[in-house]
Structure 1
Amino acid sequence: MSTPLPRAWLVFLAASTLSQLASSVLWFALGLAAASHGGQVAALVLTASGLPRLLLVLVGGSVADRVGARRLLLCTESAMVMVCLALAAGLQATGPTPWLLAAAGLASGVVSAFSLPALGSMPRRLVDDVALPRAMALRQSLSQAVLLAGAPLGGILVVTVGLPVIAVAGAVGFAAVLAVLAVIRPRRDIGPSAEPFWRSLSDGARVVARTRGLVGALGLTGAVAAVVLPVSSLLVPLLGQASGWGAGATGVVVAAQAAGSIGAALVVSRTGTARRTGQAVALGLAAASGGVALVAAAGGGALGQAAGAAVVVGAGTGVAVAHLGPFVLGSAPRTHLARVQAWTALAQLAPVVVSANLLGVLAEQVSPGAALCCCATVLGVCAVAATRLRAAAS
């Protein structure tokens, strides 16, 4: 029987999940407000939030390893409390003007570039290596649940309480993480470093390149993200529109994929990961590849087939991510946890910027089914590549 996860990790996970839910609701609500001003404003807000995260995440990882993840998170969560309160005041005074929404997105993007690597490194700072896969799988399942609940909850709250109250609730969520960070002490955090900043930044890339297995694992992470993330966010909605499913039915397919991922992550959080990481990742990606191909074949009205196949996609990717995440974080030297997490975030963010646009063009010029088949093919190649993970790390 598996040993219980540390109480410090469970308390931190509860607080960070609450904060993630509040943030998800807030930014969905602000996305609705931006969309009401037109597509250009909505794109501006998304760019203002996403571009700083992409450009600064490696800097954030270096800072976290230099000053300590807990110290940095105390600063970033405090900054987000102030951003949310300032946003609430601005919304109350002027309403959701385009420049206010863009400023909030920019501030959030800059702060999250520093907080994401630190947050990503916390499991290994609070949990023993033996329990790390279970801890990360539990976090993965809760994150998927938040993503599943954030949009509908945000839609309800926009109508019932309004944007300023939602912004205040976001501040409360970030304050909850602050309260937990004030009392916990990561056993493996570090003190301030006297190393020059430029050397700390370049050292992260050097460690990733020299640590056996990391380059391959990060490359695989990026390839999987490039073709999996657009499935639910872009291609399934386009397929639903082409097939005449309607918004509600299309939402069911997206939710089915999330449910499959949550279920797989919960199983891993109870049982732990398989001994042969590469084979487990390969099997998960092979299942996801088949599931995406079945979703593509469902175009034309086979909604039940699409929903069932989406569950397979979610379960397959859930198994793969639940094994790949601990593999990457567990391979990182303890002195470079946040920097490796920063490279992981960059590996996930950068390819999606390119792949989403390419897949969108393919879906428009040919069909959503053709774009989904392309994703299935790439996932099949990734499944073959994943079989070498264990050999690379041994």
Structure 2
Amino acid sequence: MPAGDEAAEPASRAGGAPGPQADGEEHAPDGLPRAYLLWLAGILVSLVGNAIFYFALGWAASAYGGSIAGLTLSAITLPRVLLLLVGGAVSDRVSARRVLITGDAAMLVFSLVLAAAAYSLGAPPLLLVATGVAVGVVDAFYLPASGSMPRRLVPTSQLPRALSLRQVGGQMINMGGAPLAGVLVGLAGFAGAAVVNAVTFACTLVVLIVVRPQHDVPPTPSSDGLLREAVSGVKVAFAHPVLRPGLWLTGAAAGLLLPVLTLLVPLLAREEEWGAGTAGLVFGAQGAGMVAVTLVVVRRGPLGRPGLLAASALVVAGGGVLMLGVSPNALAAVAAGLVIGVGNGTFSAHIAPLVLASSPDTHLSRIQALLVLVQSLALLLMNNVLGALVDLEGASVVVVTCAVMLVGVGLAGLTSSPLRNDRTGLART
């Protein structure tokens, strides 16, 4: 499809003013464009397939021991991290929609071939590692393009509601995906999971062919090489008065908040002898708090200035983590999980639309690539650092340390005037 075919009205540039509405754009009763809701439905179907497939891949790899399981997961992460910035540059150059259609078509074919191979050969380690590499490479191009699509489908003023709705859907799938995956893998094995994944890619591919961006801009002219264009995204982001602190806050949340939930809660539960049930309740309370906040944003829109709320939310989340670290009993730990969820939900519901809306039209996918890269590197580093510190000092000490650092980062974010005063997504008076 010619590049100009998908360019309708350009999105508004950084600064937060709502972009012009494309002629003939259809809106659902809740105000979000029908094109976005259709695209979101396709994405959520794809997420169901991903949840099933990733579980099946990890389960098959675990049969060969921890080393093969770790190698398989690393095979996904490493090419994703190495190629993310290039993937963002490609998306900005040739259009996000084209990249998404190509990625879904490639994964549809690959999943069918993988299903046939797994049916004939089983799931040998070499096949699992090769699968991880293929998934990681496609993700490096797919994730930046997908992350930029809400900006291309909805006006800037609707981004907080649109992204919150996506987040709620993702949370629901995460909660139900693992049990569904376990049943499916038990019935049909790794080959069956690959077939289901292919079906979900086919559904998403049809949606992408139908959906046309309503707030898109022409692809960036390819004046430089891909590597220079990728580096340009980094330079633009860290020179921007709002994007720079926004990316730092996102990295801090990824490195100091996410490991609390995935790594430190189980370790703390064992240390305090709360049991697996309490750890699960803390997870559940965190999820409930997060979903509650995002549903409010879906209903009402942003709760205030997004940068101010994002930085303040890290202070709230840090307070919840501190409560968790000094909890005298399981009940207090569950209450702390709820506070963490409220802080995490408020942060996510406001920082994501702020970063997306503040990105220059020419660098939408590259900024999204950098956002994913910052999160991935922070999480990869801090999971290992915090795990080693737990062995030295104990889980409760490390949890309290994370809490203090989160509060400090949030307070530091509040010192940034451009971040604190940005009014992206708010009605102007």
* Common fold by TM > 0.5: yes
Matched, 1:270 2:299: yes
Contact 2:249-2:410 within 8 A present in 1 as well: no
Of 186, 191, 195 in structure 2, the residue corresponding to residue 168 of structure 1 is 195
Structure 1 residue 255: Cα displacement: 2.4
TM-superposition CA deviations, 1:78-123 (whole Å, max 9, x none): 1111222222122211212111111111100010000000000000
Unaligned runs of at least 5 residues, structure 2? 1-28, 423-429
Structure 1 residue 189: Cα displacement: 4.5
Contact 2:283-2:337 within 8 A present in 1 as well: yes
**SS of match in other structure, 1:161:** helix
Contact 2:159-2:353 within 8 A present in 1 as well: yes
TM-superposition CA deviations, 1:239-293 (whole Å, max 9, x none): 2222334434422222221222122111111111133223312332122111111
Matched, 1:384 2:411: yes
Matched, 1:99 2:126: yes
Aligned partner of 1:285 in structure 2 is 314
Counterpart mapping for 1:182-331 below 5 A: 182-187=209-214, 188-191=216-219, 193-197=221-225, 198-298=227-327, 302-331=329-358
Q: Whole-Å Cα distance in 2 between the matches of residues 163 and 277 of structure 1?
A: 43
Matched, 1:51 2:78: yes
Q: What TM-score do the two structures reach when normalised by structure 2?
A: 0.87
Q: Whole-Å Cα distance in 2 between the matches of residues 78 and 248 of structure 1?
A: 41
Aligned partner of 2:177 in structure 1 is 150
**SS of match in other structure, 1:162:** helix
Structure 1 residue 150: Cα displacement: 2.2
Contact 1:278-1:390 within 8 A present in 2 as well: no
Aligned partner of 1:78 in structure 2 is 105
Query: Mean Cα displacement is larger for which, 8-17 or 366-375?
Result: 366-375
Q: Whole-Å Cα distance in 2 between the matches of residues 189 and 18 of structure 1?
A: 27
**SS of match in other structure, 1:193:** coil
Contact 1:145-1:258 within 8 A present in 2 as well: no
Q: Whole-Å Cα distance in 2 between the matches of residues 164 and 111 of structure 1?
A: 20
Q: Whole-Å Cα distance in 2 between the matches of residues 347 and 390 of structure 1?
A: 22
**SS of match in other structure, 1:194:** coil
Q: Whole-Å Cα distance in 2 between the matches of residues 186 and 363 of structure 1?
A: 47
Contact 2:219-2:362 within 8 A present in 1 as well: no
TM-superposition CA deviations, 1:164-191 (whole Å, max 9, x none): 1111111111111110111111120434
Letter in 2 for 1:121: S
Q: Whole-Å Cα distance in 2 between the matches of residues 282 and 191 of structure 1?
A: 33
TM-superposition CA deviations, 1:19-45 (whole Å, max 9, x none): 012101210121122122111011101
Q: What TM-score do the two structures reach when normalised by structure 1?
A: 0.94
Letter in 1 for 2:221: S
Cα gap change, 1:337/1:191 in structure 2, threshold over 3 Å: closer, same or farther? Answer: closer
Q: Whole-Å Cα distance in 1 between the matches of residues 159 and 411 of structure 2?
A: 25
Structure 1 residue 72: Cα displacement: 0.5
Structure 1 residue 212: Cα displacement: 2.0
Contact 1:220-1:386 within 8 A present in 2 as well: yes
**SS of match in other structure, 1:274:** coil
Q: Whole-Å Cα distance in 2 between the matches of residues 232 and 64 of structure 1?
A: 32
**SS of match in other structure, 1:285:** helix
Aligned partner of 1:130 in structure 2 is 157
Unaligned runs of at least 5 residues, structure 1? none
**SS of match in other structure, 2:302:** coil
More helix by share: 1
Structure 1 residue 192: Cα displacement: 6.9
Q: Whole-Å Cα distance in 2 between the matches of residues 228 and 25 of structure 1?
A: 26
Q: Percent identity?
A: 42
**SS of match in other structure, 1:244:** coil
Letter in 1 for 2:39: F
Of 140, 144, 148 in structure 2, the residue corresponding to residue 113 of structure 1 is 140
Query: Mean Cα displacement is larger for which, 60-69 or 98-107?
Result: 98-107
Q: Whole-Å Cα distance in 1 between the matches of residues 370 and 149 of structure 2?
A: 15
Q: Whole-Å Cα distance in 2 between the matches of residues 73 and 141 of structure 1?
A: 22
Matched, 1:68 2:129: no
Query: CA RMSD, aligned part only?
Result: 1.8
Give the aligned length: 391
Aligned partner of 1:363 in structure 2 is 390
Contact 2:147-2:368 within 8 A present in 1 as well: yes
Contact 2:313-2:346 within 8 A present in 1 as well: yes
Contact 1:120-1:338 within 8 A present in 2 as well: yes
Cα gap change, 1:103/1:189 in structure 2, threshold over 3 Å: closer, same or farther? Answer: farther
Letter in 1 for 2:224: P
Q: Whole-Å Cα distance in 2 between the matches of residues 390 and 139 of structure 1?
A: 29
Structure 1 residue 142: Cα displacement: 1.5
**SS of match in other structure, 1:261:** helix
Letter in 1 for 2:388: V
Query: Mean Cα displacement is larger for which, 40-49 or 191-200?
Result: 191-200
